[in-house]
């Protein structure tokens, strides 16, 4: 599980940098300031949680079930939250908004909150 956290964190970090550059250079000309800000929110949350995954990959005991749940919550949260935002923004820019992604974003946010909540629970019960 530690490898999953570390590899996922590295992949999410890499893609956050690529997507951030994509947004700053290519999408800047196509997006409204509101859509660009939404895209940037997805990138920020992705990079923050990529760093968390890298840190947790080196710190948690992956033989403990709650530690695995924390990792999974962050991974699923990043995918659902950030990538649904990217899909919504890019599809909106092309006038083909994928509305089905709208309800997915809060589910991703909920997974991120769950990951943080489980981390707090773990620290309180140590």
pLDDT digits (tens, 9 = 90+) for 19-38: 999 988 888 888 889 999 99
Please state, in angstroms and as integers, the Cα–Cα distance from residue 32 to each residue in 35, 38, 82, 90, 99, following that order: 5, 10, 18, 11, 18
The residue count for the chain: 126
Of 115, 30, 40, the C-alpha closest to 70 is: 115
CA 124/CA 118 separation, integer angstroms:
10
Q: Can you give the residue range of the structural domain that contains 97?
A: 2-125
> Mind listing the pLDDT tens digit for each residue in 38-89?
999 999 999 999 999 999 999 888 788 999 999 999 999 999 999 999 999 9
When divided into structural domains, the chain yields a total of 1
């Amino acid at each position: 599980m530690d490898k999953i956290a570390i590899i996922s964190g590295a992949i999410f970090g890499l893609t956050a940098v690529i997507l951030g550059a994509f947004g700053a250079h290519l999408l800047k000309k196509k997006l409204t300031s509101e859509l660009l800000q939404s895209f940037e929110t997805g990138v920020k949350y992705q990079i923050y949680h990529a760093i968390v995954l890298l840190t947790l990959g080196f710190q948690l005991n992956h033989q403990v079930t709650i530690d695995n749940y924390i990792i999974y919550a962050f991974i699923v949260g990043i995918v659902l939250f950030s990538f649904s935002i990217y899909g919504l923004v890019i599809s909106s820019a092309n006038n083909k908004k994928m509305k089905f992604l709208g309800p997915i974003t809060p589910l991703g946010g909920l997974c991120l909150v769950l990951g943080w909540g489980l981390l707090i629970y773990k620290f309180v019960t140590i």
